[in-house]
Structure 1
Amino acid sequence: MPWLLISLLATVAATLAVGWIVDQALQRTAARHPSAPVWPLLRRCRIPLQLTVASALLLANKPLQRILRTAGDDGAHHLLLLLLIASLGWLTVRVVAAALEALLSRYETRVDDPARIQRVHTQISMLRRVVSALIVVVTVAVMLLTFSAMRTVGASLLASAGLIGIVAGIAAQSTLGNFFAGLQIAFSDTVRIGDTVVVDGQQGTVEEITLTYLVVRLWDYRRLVVPVSYFVNKPFENWTRRDPGLLAAVLLHLDHTTPVDELRTTLRARLDRHPLWDGAEWALQVTDTTPSTIVVRATMTARTPDDAAQLRFDIREQLIAHLRDEHPHTLPRLRTTDS
């Protein structure tokens, strides 16, 4: 019994020592290589690493195993084995996630193109989810194989694998369709995290892409959750797929006596002073007429869809204010005649 207590204390001390030594080594390595983001990210693996070390040491603890064999308790040994397999799977998931995040961070520091960064960000996020799912499946499968009953029925399971696969494929047709649609979206560059899209008349920004659904943050901060298969099977608008810039338009219904040239000069002056105008394009044109009004369209470009929306709001307000103060007669009125 004293040897058992000593071995357990030694296991605890060794587990804590391994975690501390690895953490200190990662800190020093990160200090020597500040441009490499992988070392700080690997520090998140400390807890699964300590669980792996602890379970492995307990399985290798001869006094403990001798007592368990004497007592005929195979359940504790099996539980330690399951803990070791699960902690190894957890550690692998953390290491893969840290490596992929470090790869993305390094790519962001070397590339200045926001579109390419968004594309790689989407692809790495999907790849991390796929690899994590595969690791979890393999870990669970290995844990199940440690049960003797699962090994006994293995032959019959393999014999009926074809039928089970057909039934599972039919039952999970929608899920599998979303899964492969998510992979197609990630690597076909049709939509990326950060893109501005219009889905069923709802305009928003892509906030998250998973293997089965996509989250769009709307302008009023609501979240629209859409199956990824929607973006494969149905048309949608992507305002920022190639160029995040956007052309904003303001429509005004004015009187026929409106001084269009002066209004065009006013628009250019307001744009020159506005911080959201990118200086690329602008125009003011009479696009239509009615018996009582003319339709004036002012167009201007901005760097992002959000800037374009705010620029459109501001310019509309400023043009109406200018006409109200300088040419109030140009604002449309309902005219009546005496009978």
Structure 2
Amino acid sequence: MDKITVYINKLDDFAIGILILVAAAIAGLLVKLVLFRLMKFYNRREDPLLVRSLTEHLNQPFAFFIPLLFISIAIPTLPYSNETIYVLKRTLEVLDIIAFAWILVKLTNVGRDVVRSKYQIGKADNYRERKLYTQLQFVRKITIILIVFVALSLILLSFDAVRKLGTGLLTSAGVAGIVIGVAAQRSLANLLAGIQLAFTQPIRLDDVLVVEGEFGRVEEITLTYVVLKLWDNRRLILPLNYFIEKPFQNWTRTGSDILATVYLYTDYTVPVDALREEFNRILAGTDLWDKQVSVLQVTNSNEKTLELRALMSAHSSGTAWDLKCLVREKLVYFIQKTYPHALPKERAEFTGDKAAGFLKHS
């Protein structure tokens, strides 16, 4: 009978402890809901960027962190043995570290939102913004890796059995670096190339590049590779060290403005002055031209045609492409309509018997 009574008492203690833990978790969730409802209410009235970003990114981690905090407070009140309390505390320490690391990772998103709101990449002259975004993206990813590394080390250090492993993880970075360098030399080279790219910046986010004969815009820079969005929406994936080791064209290296070029090949009889006047008239009639550069010159000649180059400026690479297409179409139409004899042609001269025979057969 005494054994049954002891068993029932233990069962009662277990149920009471579970109820305390559940009540603490529910209390934490209620506090979290009230806190974030107040933040959302404040956002609807004032719409501050920082509070709005905090509300968006910290909603999920705080739904995990605040109940853990309340459970930690309730642990000493549990009617459990010292061994059970110890196990619960160790478990909560691990969960608290995970929750705190999660919050820190989300705070990097908050910092990104604040920077992006202050520096808008969507404007025409976005050279400074693209430079900052490239550095910000790389630093954020390195920060997340460091947060995860430190959190994992702290978790290991919280257990006596693996404390030495955790200490070694924190203090033997040199040995680990050698092992990693031997095992993954190319990955390490890409990571080092990423650090170099982030601060020397031969390329930036949204730069316009010509790589391997492909024209595209830098869409993403990760820790190991670059994603180039091509003009036809294909993606070209290249390792970071490609941009350290091989040549490529960067059309927006020092600014977003760019010169557009159109080449025409005509007969020697083309009136260049009239074509130049039409070129200037076309530019004056479009908003694509930024009114900085407009030149039409004869740049080359051979035994059959003249080469004419129309040079004009635009605010961005996309605008420059549209301007090139417009000018090319208008100039070709002008030549076809006004000076059709100036289109490229083949000439042949027949003399003597060959000329007579040609006329006879014609």
Q: Normalized against structure 2, the TM-score is what? A: 0.82
CA contact (8 A) 1:55 1:81 kept: no
Report the equivalent of 1:177.
189
Root mean square deviation of aligned Cα: 2.9
Identity rate of aligned residues, in percent? 34
Distance in 1 of aligned mates of 2:164 and 2:272:
87
Counterparts in 2 of 1:89-104, with a 5 A limit? 89-104=101-116
Is there any run of 5+ residues in structure 2 with no aligned partner, and where?
1-11, 355-362
Contact 2:257 2:314 in 1 (8 A): yes
In the TM superposition, residue 15 of structure 1 has moved relative to its aligned partner by 2.0
Q: 2:227 aligned with 1:218, yes or no?
A: no
For residue 39 of structure 1, the aligned residue among 45, 48, 51 is: 51
Greater shift after overlay, 1-10 or 262-271? 1-10
Whole-angstrom CA distance in 1 between matches of 2:27 and 2:85: 25
Residue 130 of structure 1 corresponds to 142
Q: Which letter does structure 2 place at the counterpart of 1:176? A: L
The alignment status of 1:106 with 2:118, answered yes or no, reads: yes
Confirm or deny that 1:14 pairs with 2:27: yes
Correspondence 1:319 to 2:331: yes
Distance 1:318 1:58, change over 3 A: same
1:207-246 matches, within 5 Å, as 207-246=219-258
Q: Which has the larger displacement, 180-189 or 257-266?
A: 180-189
When residues 158 and 130 of structure 1 are mapped into structure 2, their CA distance, relative to the original with a 3 A threshold, is: closer
Q: Deviations over 1:19-73 (max 9, x none)?
A: 1232134335545754x42111111202111211222333443388544757x69
Q: Distance in 2 between matches of 1:298 and 1:161?
A: 58
Counterpart residue type for residue 171 of structure 1: A
Alpha-carbon distance between aligned partners in 2 of 1:155 and 1:183, rounded to the nearest angstrom: 27
Deviation at 1:75, TM superposition (A): 6.5
State the match for 2:358 in structure 1: none
- 2:345: which partner in 1? 333
Q: Give distance in 1, aligned partners of 2:124 and 2:277.
A: 36
1:155-177 CA-partner distances (Å, limit 9, x unpaired)? 78789775544222222332222
Partner of 1:259: 271
**What TM-score do the two structures reach when normalised by structure 1?**
0.87
Structure-2 change in CA distance of 1:237 and 1:151 (3 Å): same
1:62 aligns with 2:79: no
Query: Per the alignment, do residues 212 and 279 of structure 1 end up closer, same or farther by CA in structure 2, a change over 3 Å counting?
Result: same
Q: How many Å separate the matches in 1 of 2:16 and 2:208?
A: 65
* Residue 88 of structure 1 pairs with residue 103 of structure 2: no
Write the deviation string for residues 123-169 of structure 1: whole angstroms up to 9, x where unpaired.
22212111111101111222223344312556787897755442222
Measured in 2, the distance between the counterparts of 1:46 and 1:155 equals 33
Could you give the per-residue CA deviations for residues 270-311 of structure 1, whole angstroms, max 9, x where no partner exists?
111122111111111111222222111111111111111221
Distance 1:165 1:270, change over 3 A: closer
Residue by residue, what CA displacement relative to the aligned partner does 1:194-232 show, whole Å, maximum 9, x if unpaired?
111122222211111122211111111111112222222
Give the Cα separation in 1 of the matches to 2:153 and 2:304.
76
Alignment partner, residue 308 of structure 2: 296
Q: Would the alpha carbon gap of residues 217 and 253 (structure 1) be closer, same or farther in structure 2, given more than 3 Å must change?
A: same
Residues 233-284 of structure 1: CA distance to partner in whole angstroms, max 9, x if unpaired? 3332221122211111111111111111111111111111122111111111
Opposite residue 209 of structure 2, the aligned amino acid is V
Report if the CA contact (8 A) 1:249-1:298 is conserved: yes
Rg (Cα) greater in structure = 2
1:92 is displaced (CA, Å) by 1.3
The number of residues matched between the two structures is: 336
Contact map agreement 2:124 2:256 (CA 8 A) in 1 = no
Q: Tell me, which stretches of 5 or more residues in structure 1 are unaligned?
A: none
SS of 1:277's partner is coil
Does the alignment pair 1:206 with 2:218? yes
Kindly indicate whether the alpha-carbon contact (under 8 Å) linking 2:157 and 2:163 is maintained by their aligned counterparts in 1: yes
